[in-house]
């Protein structure tokens, strides 16, 4: 994938391992991306530029819900996750069923 840095790869790997990526909107429309770990530890902020790039590369898709949209790996994202990780089970994605 073109232009993927370490931070991009970390987000893809985190999603492959079960973390949840959400875009939280405030009442004034501001958006911030948070990566919620599967183990219940506090979420981390992900820079908008990282998510924008993953969306542009068609590695992520959103369910477009308000106030917190959830982002999932696309088929391309799942393929990248498989290349980046040594897991045997692939993550759920929108076309998994």
Q: Which CATH class is domain 6-84?
A: mainly alpha
Query: Which tens digit of pLDDT belongs to each residue from 55-96?
Result: 999 999 988 776 678 899 998 988 888 888 765 555 555 554
How does pLDDT run across 33-63, given as a tens digit for each residue? Answer: 999 998 989 999 999 999 999 999 999 998 8
- Tell me the HSE value of 25 on the side-chain side, using a 13 A CA sphere: 10
pLDDT band at 2 (very low <50, low <70, confident <90, very high): low
- Does the pLDDT value for residue 22 go beyond 90? yes
Checking if the pLDDT of 30 tops 50, the result is: yes
- Domain ranges, ordered by start, for the chain: 6-84
CA nearest neighbour of 21 among 82, 79, 65: 65
> How many residues belong to the chain?
97
- The answer, as to whether pTM is greater than 0.85, is no
Tell whether omega for the bond before 67 is within 30 degrees of 0, i.e. cis: yes
Q: Strands 68-73 and 20-25, how do they pair? A: antiparallel
């Amino acid at each position: 994938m073109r232009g993927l840095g370490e931070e991009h790869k970390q987000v893809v790997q985190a999603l492959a391992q079960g973390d949840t990526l959400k875009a939280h909107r405030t009442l004034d429309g501001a958006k911030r991306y948070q990566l919620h770990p599967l183990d219940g530890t506090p979420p981390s902020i992900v820079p908008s530029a990282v998510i924008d790039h993953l969306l542009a590369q068609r590695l992520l898709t959103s369910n477009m819900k308000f106030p917190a949209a959830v982002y999932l790996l696309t088929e391309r994202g799942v393929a990248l996750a498989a290349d980046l990780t040594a897991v045997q089970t692939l993550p759920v994605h929108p076309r998994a069923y």
